């Protein structure tokens, strides 16, 4: 294949057009106030998840999403919209630093090299980005504003009265540091010795680091945190107004993990203190037969009976030394020890034992539970293992199956519960909460799985915090000292201790005689939390985004989200997409943004698998390199194939013969306009003529315009391409071939195969009118419904739902005449003989169904 000559000269014209588009700024988007800005044009902001420029280069998975957005961008431009379609680099982060440490090269050098490589690759696919807006998160002109946004978080709190972020000055309490949205906390963190840094919960998978797969342990450390938990309610509620896949919304809701329930205070025999537990089932309080605290619970030390001290200490130590991984592995077998004291159940005064067990987590709820083994599977398992009493207080509506005997976690009717006897579970919950609040022994409350966001890393290759420390207190740097650039360092390896690598830059650390710089850096997510804003106004040196640019590109009447279409992988469902929403809301509250959400419409592209049907990986050797596909079949074929494979959202396997299929299609399109002369040069085909379309041809052309237009809007690219193939099949044999067909067809194809269309447009323009300028800047054609109507319609004739014959009737026929025609068909006679016709159904334009009996 690679040895034979190409079916059309893409190796010559694809790079030529890429260069031309670049040199003429063909895809520059105009901001309000810019020359050439058209205030009447609709804005369309279509965004890709910008890549991390890894050393491996571009993957066919990148190409899939980027082609989809490029088609939308090019389509909207042809429709006359003002399109913002930018690209940039998410270039801070662990892999660059790990690679730098391994090779001894500075991350700034390797990062720049990778960026250059990515840019070249993207340009070789013909994506219509506005390259004048290119940004990198590692550029000081960019991260200056990342640091500025951090200062906004630092200088703000969420006022419970308004449920909005406000400047910290409006806080009237005496400890502003306890309410700031960016705050310092001594917290048990995920420390990864292999990477020499802490990780967010989201970055730990199965007790190992998501990057590198090193083991992770828990240890308390002083860290910067962002108070994302102040936004839980709004992060859930505002999902409703977004055009996102339901599955992603659900993923975010589950991640935030809102549960309604109650806090209940249990007295402790012999102590002043009470233990507060959280439960979603206050209606089962009468069934609580013991209490369990997390091993790390702060009361344990104080309340443990002297006789139990040794055993309790041993158990706590054991839990502490277990890594997260072990705890996960051992999740199935319950362990725990009793503290040797009793708690008092506030609803009935009953004395119940208090245990510690590691199935109760310290970070969720209150770190203590009341155990109701009859109605909670975990409690049931624990009670069975340790022979604790089980008391049924909810009666199921239907008898339970054998295997569920003894534990019923569902809703039913309260029994053995004096205060709520006979009530249905929901009412029982309400009444119980009211009772608790009245007696002052508890209250209704809501808890969330979502924790505050651990925001500091002990690494070199990230944004330094704009913070200094003096006398043990932190304070922000003034805005005019931004950006805080990382020091130039030769040795930026982790120190091996919890001390960040920046500590080695002693000069830099020393801010003044008495003040020292913060040594942590921000996580990779920081830069990607707001890049979509910077694209609107990337060169602004006075503000993170100009007001007018923000209102134009990010504002839209009636919709909460600013970006019109955002395409990327599903792996960011709960990380980037939640973090970015949070920052956006803070900036919105503080009056810097006009809409409360960043991304209005979100689409997740599916995974492209290897031709063996499994995920592409180097070790499997099934990785497809986009560069080699371009070399063999051209960029247009690569684009078209990835769109033709199947629905954008689905995972699908790669097939090289499939690439050849679309390549052949493009060659057919080429030969509709071009012929090879005796010397082997491509010249305009002599079959082309200015000539009226036949009725059939006109119908195919307009059906294609309609289908392609509607399918692009629906992101159903594979079916749009089939329709274009149908068009080509109709016209390849047409001689003479009406030029009008190409005039209408080529703009439809140009978002998919822009190089080929640009080239044909140029050649046709040398002989025929209507091909002026660039195809990329032509006009999207409109279809005419009148041309789509057919004179005669074919009807299927069914008897009892089985097709027994066909008939054609004029399109204008009414039901009666179609029915009459059906009965006139002699082919039906044998099926109707001796039967009684019960009913006749005529579906206009489709079929006739005769229902018979006998």
Cα 241 versus chain centre, distance = 16
Assign 264 to helix, strand or coil: strand
* Number of CB atoms found within 10 A of residue 727's CB: 25
Quickly count helices (H) and strands (E) in the chain.
26, 38
Is 390 among the residues that bind RNA (CB under 7 A)? no
Q: 328 — phi, psi (to 5°)?
A: -70, -45
Looking at residues 156 to 215 of the shown chain, list those that interact with RNA (rule: CB under 7 A). 205
Query: Which tokens in the block code for residue 365?
Result: 């709820």
What sign does the CA torsion over 507, 509, 512, 513 have? negative
Q: How far is the CB of 280 from RNA (least distance, A)?
A: 4
Choose which of 79, 431, 668, 706 interacts with RNA (CB under 7 A).
668
Is 458 among the residues that bind RNA (CB under 7 A)? no
Is 9 among the residues that bind RNA (CB under 7 A)? no
When the beta carbons of 396 and 596 are compared against RNA, the nearer one is 396
Total of chain residues touching RNA, rule CB under 7 A: 83
Query: For residues 800 and 852, is the Cβ–Cβ distance under 8 A?
Result: yes
Is 665 among the residues that bind RNA (CB under 7 A)? yes
* Number of CB atoms found within 10 A of residue 572's CB: 18
Q: How far is the CB of 131 from RNA (least distance, A)?
A: 33
Q: What is the DSSP letter of 347?
A: T
* Number of CB atoms found within 10 A of residue 581's CB: 24
Is 251 among the residues that bind RNA (CB under 7 A)? yes
Is 511 among the residues that bind RNA (CB under 7 A)? no
Give Cβ neighbours of residue 274 (< 8 Å, ≥ 6 apart).
Answer: 265, 266, 267, 268
Is 655 among the residues that bind RNA (CB under 7 A)? yes
Q: How far is the CB of 288 from RNA (least distance, A)?
A: 10
Strands 608-609 and 652-653: parallel
Assign 829 to helix, strand or coil: helix
Q: How far is the CB of 801 from RNA (least distance, A)?
A: 3
Quick one: which segment of 27-35, 62-70, 472-480, 654-662 binds RNA (CB under 7 A)?
654-662
Choose which of 364, 386, 511, 768 interacts with RNA (CB under 7 A).
364
Q: How far is the CB of 210 from RNA (least distance, A)?
A: 9
Choose which of 699, 719, 777, 835 interacts with RNA (CB under 7 A).
719
Looking at residues 630 to 649 of the shown chain, list those that interact with RNA (rule: CB under 7 A). 644-647
Q: Is 653 exposed, middle or buried (0-12, 13-18, 19+ CB in 10 A)?
A: middle
Is 331 among the residues that bind RNA (CB under 7 A)? yes
Looking at residues 805 to 824 of the shown chain, list those that interact with RNA (rule: CB under 7 A). 806
Choose which of 176, 207, 569, 661 interacts with RNA (CB under 7 A).
661
Print the SS3 string covering 98-137: HHHHHHCCCHHHHHHHHHHHHHHHHHCCCCCCCHHHCEEC
First vs last C-alpha separation in the chain: 64
Choose which of 721, 746, 764, 822 interacts with RNA (CB under 7 A).
721
Of the candidates 113, 63, 188, the residue with the CA atom closest to the CA atom of residue 648: 63
Q: How far is the CB of 317 from RNA (least distance, A)?
A: 16
Query: For residues 153 and 182, is the Cβ–Cβ distance under 8 A?
Result: yes
When the beta carbons of 116 and 676 are compared against RNA, the nearer one is 676
Coarse DSSP helix, strand, coil percentages of the chain, rounded to the nearest 5 percent: 40, 20, 40
Print the SS3 string covering 714-761: CCCHHHHHHHHHHHHHHHCCCCCEEHHHHHHHHHHHCCCCHHHHHHHH
Quick one: which segment of 49-57, 163-171, 577-585, 663-671 binds RNA (CB under 7 A)?
663-671
Q: 736 — phi, psi (to 5°)?
A: -65, 160
What number of CA atoms fall less than 13 Å from residue 344's CA on the CB side? Answer: 12
Quick one: which segment of 531-539, 577-585, 655-663, 817-825 binds RNA (CB under 7 A)?
655-663
Looking at residues 728 to 767 of the shown chain, list those that interact with RNA (rule: CB under 7 A). 729, 732-733
Is 488 among the residues that bind RNA (CB under 7 A)? no
Is 454 among the residues that bind RNA (CB under 7 A)? no
Is 328 among the residues that bind RNA (CB under 7 A)? yes
Radius of gyration for the chain, computed over Cα atoms and rounded to the nearest angstrom = 34
Is 280 among the residues that bind RNA (CB under 7 A)? yes
Site mask, RNA, residues 119-158, x = CB under 7 A? ----------------------------------------
Is 843 among the residues that bind RNA (CB under 7 A)? yes
Q: How far is the CB of 274 from RNA (least distance, A)?
A: 16
Quick one: which segment of 18-26, 653-661, 698-706, 813-821 binds RNA (CB under 7 A)?
653-661
Q: How far is the CB of 659 from RNA (least distance, A)?
A: 9
Choose which of 164, 615, 699, 706 interacts with RNA (CB under 7 A).
615
Of the candidates 510, 470, 468, 471, the residue with the CA atom closest to the CA atom of residue 487: 510
Q: How far is the CB of 374 from RNA (least distance, A)?
A: 12
Q: How far is the CB of 754 from RNA (least distance, A)?
A: 20
Q: How far is the CB of 327 from RNA (least distance, A)?
A: 6
Query: For residues 262 and 433, is the Cβ–Cβ distance under 8 A?
Result: yes
Q: 223 — phi, psi (to 5°)?
A: -140, 155
When the beta carbons of 310 and 792 are compared against RNA, the nearer one is 792
When the beta carbons of 49 and 593 are compared against RNA, the nearer one is 49
Strands 82-84 and 43-48: parallel
When the beta carbons of 691 and 719 are compared against RNA, the nearer one is 719
Q: How far is the CB of 679 from RNA (least distance, A)?
A: 17
When the beta carbons of 247 and 696 are compared against RNA, the nearer one is 247
Is 365 among the residues that bind RNA (CB under 7 A)? yes
When the beta carbons of 516 and 615 are compared against RNA, the nearer one is 615
Choose which of 263, 376, 589, 597 interacts with RNA (CB under 7 A).
376
When the beta carbons of 377 and 485 are compared against RNA, the nearer one is 377
Q: Is 432 exposed, middle or buried (0-12, 13-18, 19+ CB in 10 A)?
A: buried
Choose which of 294, 347, 624, 688 interacts with RNA (CB under 7 A).
294
Looking at residues 75 to 114 of the shown chain, list those that interact with RNA (rule: CB under 7 A). none
Name residue, tokens 């709820």: 365
Assign 541 to helix, strand or coil: coil
Query: For residues 380 and 372, is the Cβ–Cβ distance under 8 A?
Result: no
Q: How far is the CB of 691 from RNA (least distance, A)?
A: 20
Is 259 among the residues that bind RNA (CB under 7 A)? yes
Query: For residues 847 and 796, is the Cβ–Cβ distance under 8 A?
Result: yes
Site mask, RNA, residues 779-808, x = CB under 7 A? ---------------xxx-x-xxxxx-x--
When the beta carbons of 119 and 327 are compared against RNA, the nearer one is 327
Is 320 among the residues that bind RNA (CB under 7 A)? no
Is 622 among the residues that bind RNA (CB under 7 A)? no
Quick one: which segment of 221-229, 460-468, 505-513, 845-853 binds RNA (CB under 7 A)?
845-853
Query: Which tokens in the block code for residue 614?
Result: 């499994």
Cα→Cα distances 414→3, 283, 299, 426, 443, Å: 79, 7, 32, 10, 20
Assign 494 to helix, strand or coil: coil
When the beta carbons of 78 and 369 are compared against RNA, the nearer one is 369
Choose which of 180, 316, 334, 459 interacts with RNA (CB under 7 A).
334
Is 696 among the residues that bind RNA (CB under 7 A)? no
Q: How far apart are CA 46 and CA 712, in angstroms?
A: 14
Quick one: which segment of 85-93, 114-122, 424-432, 836-844 binds RNA (CB under 7 A)?
836-844
Is 330 among the residues that bind RNA (CB under 7 A)? yes
Q: How far apart are CA 431 and CA 410, in angstroms?
A: 18
Instruction: Find the angle CA(506)-CA(508)-CA(513) to the nearest 5 degrees.
Output: 80
């Amino acid at each position: 294949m690679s040895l034979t000559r190409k079916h059309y000269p893409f190796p010559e014209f694809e790079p030529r057009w890429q260069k031309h588009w670049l040199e003429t700024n063909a895809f520059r988007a105009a901001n309000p106030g810019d020359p050439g800005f058209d205030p009447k044009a609709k804005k369309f902001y279509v965004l890709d998840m910008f890549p991390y420029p890894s050393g491996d280069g571009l993957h066919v998975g990148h190409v899939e999403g980027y082609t989809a957005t490029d088609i939308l961008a090019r389509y909207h431009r042809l429709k006359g919209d003002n399109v913002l379609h930018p690209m940039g680099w998410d270039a801070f982060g662990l892999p660059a630093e790990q690679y730098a440490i391994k090779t001894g090269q500075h991350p700034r050098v390797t990062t720049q090299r990778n960026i250059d490589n990515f840019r070249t690759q993207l340009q070789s696919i013909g994506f219509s980005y506005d390259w004048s807006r290119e940004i990198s998160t590692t550029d000081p002109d960019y991260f200056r504003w990342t640091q500025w946004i951090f200062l906004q978080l630092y200088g703000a709190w969420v006022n419970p009265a308004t449920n909005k972020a406000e400047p910290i000055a409006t806080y009237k309490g005496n400890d502003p540091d306890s309410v700031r949205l960016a705050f310092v906390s001594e917290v048990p963190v995920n420390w990864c010795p292999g990477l020499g840094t802490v990780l967010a919960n989201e970055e730990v998978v199965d007790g190992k680091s998501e990057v590198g797969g090193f083991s992770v342990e828990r240890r308390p450390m002083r860290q910067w945190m962002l108070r994302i938990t102040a936004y839980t309610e709004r992060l859930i509620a505002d999902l409703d107004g977004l055009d996102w896949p339901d599955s992603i919304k659900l993923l975010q809701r589950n991640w935030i993990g809102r549960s309604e329930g109650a806090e209940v205070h249990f007295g402790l025999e012999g102590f002043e203190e009470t233990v507060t537990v959280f439960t979603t089932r206050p209606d089962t309080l009468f069934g609580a037969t013991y209490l369990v605290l997390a091993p790390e619970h702060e009361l344990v030390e104080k309340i443990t009976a002297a006789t139990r001290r040794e055993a309790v200490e041993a158990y706590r130590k054991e839990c502490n030394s277990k890594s997260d991984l072990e705890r996960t592995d051992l999740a199935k077998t319950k362990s725990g020890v009793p503290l040797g004291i009793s708690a008092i159940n506030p609803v009935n005064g009953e004395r119940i034992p208090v245990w510690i067990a590691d199935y109760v987590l310290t970070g969720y709820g209150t770190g203590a539970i009341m155990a109701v083994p009859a109605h909670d599977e975990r409690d049931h398992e624990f009670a069975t293992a340790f022979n604790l009493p089980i008391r049924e207080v909810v009666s199921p509506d239907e008898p339970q199956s054998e295997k569920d005997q003894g534990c019923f976690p569902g809703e039913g009717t309260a029994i053995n519960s004096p205060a709520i006897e006979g009530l249905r579970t929901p009412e029982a919950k309400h009444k119980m909460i009211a009772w608790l609040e009245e007696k002052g022994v508890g209250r209704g409350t809501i808890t969330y799985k979502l924790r505050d966001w651990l925001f500091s890393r002990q690494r070199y290759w990230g944004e330094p915090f704009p913070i200094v420390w003096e006398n043990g207190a932190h304070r922000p740097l003034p805005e005019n000292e931004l950006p805080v650039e990382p020091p130039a360092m030769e040795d930026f390896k982790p120190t091996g201790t919890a001390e960040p690598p920046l500590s080695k830059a002693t000069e830099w650390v020393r801010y003044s005689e008495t003040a020292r710089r913060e040594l942590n850096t921000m996580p990779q997510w920081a830069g990607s939390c707001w890049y979509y804003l910077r694209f609107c106004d990337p060169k602004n040196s006075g503000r993170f985004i100009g007001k007018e640019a923000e209102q134009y590109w990010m504002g839209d009447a009636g919709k909460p989200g600013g970006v019109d279409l955002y395409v990327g992988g599903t792996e960011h469902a709960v990380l980037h997409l939640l973090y970015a929403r949070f920052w956006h809301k803070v900036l919105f509250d503080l009056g810097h943004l006009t809409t409360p959400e960043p991304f209005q419409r979100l689409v997740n592209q599916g995974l492209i698998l290897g031709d063996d049907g499994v995920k592409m990986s180097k070790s499997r050797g099934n990785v497809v390199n986009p560069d080699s596909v371009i070399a063999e079949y051209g960029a247009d074929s690569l684009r078209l194939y990835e769109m033709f494979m199947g629905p954008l959202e689905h995972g699908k396997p790669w097939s090289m013969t499939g690439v050849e299929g679309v390549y052949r299609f493009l060659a057919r399109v080429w030969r509709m306009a071009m012929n090879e002369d005796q010397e082997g040069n491509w010249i305009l085909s002599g079959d082309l003529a200015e000539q009226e379309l036949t009725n059939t041809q006109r119908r195919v052309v307009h059906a294609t315009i309609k289908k392609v237009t509607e399918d692009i809007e629906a992101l159903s690219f594979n079916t749009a391409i089939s329709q274009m193939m149908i068009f080509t099949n109709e016209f390849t044999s047409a001689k003479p071939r009406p030029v009008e067909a190409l005039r209408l067809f080529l703009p439809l194809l140009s978002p998919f195969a822009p190089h080929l269309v640009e080239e044909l447009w140029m050649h046709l323009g040398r002989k025929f009118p209507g091909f002026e300028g660039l195809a990329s800047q032509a006009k999207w054609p409109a279809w005419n419904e009148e041309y789509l109507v057919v004179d005669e319609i074919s009807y299927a004739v069914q008897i009892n739902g089985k097709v027994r014959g066909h008939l054609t009737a004029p399109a204008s026929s009414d039901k009666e005449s179609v029915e009459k025609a059906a009965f006139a068909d002699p082919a039906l006679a044998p099926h109707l003989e001796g039967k009684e016709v019960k009913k006749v159904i005529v579906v206009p334009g489709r079929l006739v169904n005769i229902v018979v009996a006998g």
